[in-house]
Structure 1
Amino acid sequence: MMDFNDDLENWMGNLPQELKMIPIINLAIPGSHDAMSYGIKSNAPIAPDAEPIVATLNKFIPCIVKRWAVTQRLDVIDQLKSGIRYFDLRICMKRPENKFYFVHGLFCEEITESLEQLKDFLRTHPREFVILDCQHFYLFNPTDHCMLSAELNRIFDKKIYSRNVSQLKDCTLESATGNGKQVLIVYRSDACVNDRFWLSQDWPTPWPNEIKVKKLRQYLDESIAQRSPDTGYVSQCVLTPTVRYIVPRFFSSLRKTCAKEVDKKLTDWIKLQTPGIFGTDEKPKSNVFLADFVDIQDSHFCKIVVGLNKKILDQNNSAQSSPSRKSN
Structure 2
Amino acid sequence: MPIRGKREVTSYCDWMSQLPPQLHNIPLFNLAIPGSHDSMSYDLDINSSIIEPNGLKRLSKIYCIREIVRRWATTQEETITNQLDAGVRYFDLRVARKPNDTDPTRLYFYHGLYTRTDVETVLRVMNDWAEKHPKEILILALSNFKGFDKNNEDKLHSHLISFIKTLFGAKLRERVSHREIIPTLKRCWDKGTNVIVSYDHPAQQHFELWSKIPYYYSNSMDTTKVEMEIRRVLETARPFQCFFVCGLNLTLPSNVKILLYILRFCDNFANVVQRSLPRLLRWVKQQGRKTPMNIVGSDLVTRDDFVSTIVNLNTLKNVKA
Q: Is the pair's TM-score, using the shorter chain for normalization, greater than 0.5? A: yes
**Residue in 2 aligned with 1:322?**
none
Inter-partner Cα distance in structure 2 for 1:170 and 1:191? 24
> Which amino acid letter does the alignment assign opposite residue 15 of structure 2?
W
CA contact (8 A) 2:50 2:56 kept: no
> Which amino acid letter does the alignment assign opposite residue 214 of structure 2?
P
1:180 aligned to 183, 192, 196, which one? 192
**Residue in 2 aligned with 1:271?**
285
> Which amino acid letter does the alignment assign opposite residue 56 of structure 1?
L
1:43-58 → structure 2 map (5 Å cutoff): 43-47=47-51, 49-53=52-56, 56=59
**Residue in 2 aligned with 1:325?**
none
1:126 is paired with a residue whose SS is coil
Inter-partner Cα distance in structure 2 for 1:166 and 1:177? 19
Structure 1 residues 255 and 167, CA, compared in 2 at 3 Å: closer, same or farther? farther
Inter-partner Cα distance in structure 2 for 1:302 and 1:54? 35
Displacement of 1:55 in angstroms is: 5.0
Q: Can you give the 5+ residue segments of structure 1 that lack an aligned partner in the other structure?
A: 276-282, 317-328
Structure 1 residues 16 and 55, CA, compared in 2 at 3 Å: closer, same or farther? farther
1:311 aligned to 300, 303, 316, which one? 316
In the alignment, does 2:246 pair up with 1:235?
yes
**Residue in 1 aligned with 2:109?**
102
Identity value in percent: 28
Number of residue equivalences: 300
Structure 1 residues 75 and 168, CA, compared in 2 at 3 Å: closer, same or farther? farther
1:273 is paired with a residue whose SS is helix
1:1-328 → structure 2 map (5 Å cutoff): 2-4=7-9, 6-47=10-51, 49-53=52-56, 56=59, 59-61=62-64, 62-94=66-98, 95-96=100-101, 97-98=103-104, 99-108=106-115, 109-140=117-148, 141-163=153-175, 166-167=178-179, 170-200=182-212, 203-225=213-235, 226-242=237-253, 243-257=258-272, 259-274=273-288, 285-297=292-304, 300-312=305-317, 315=318
**TM norm structure 2:** 0.87
**TM norm structure 1:** 0.85
Displacement of 1:58 in angstroms is: 6.4
CA deviation map 1:286-317 (0-9, x unaligned): 101000111223xx1001000111124xx37x
Structure 1 residues 164 and 241, CA, compared in 2 at 3 Å: closer, same or farther? closer
Inter-partner Cα distance in structure 2 for 1:296 and 1:214? 20
CA RMSD in angstroms comes to 2.1
Structure 1 segments (4+ residues) deviating >3 Å: 164-169
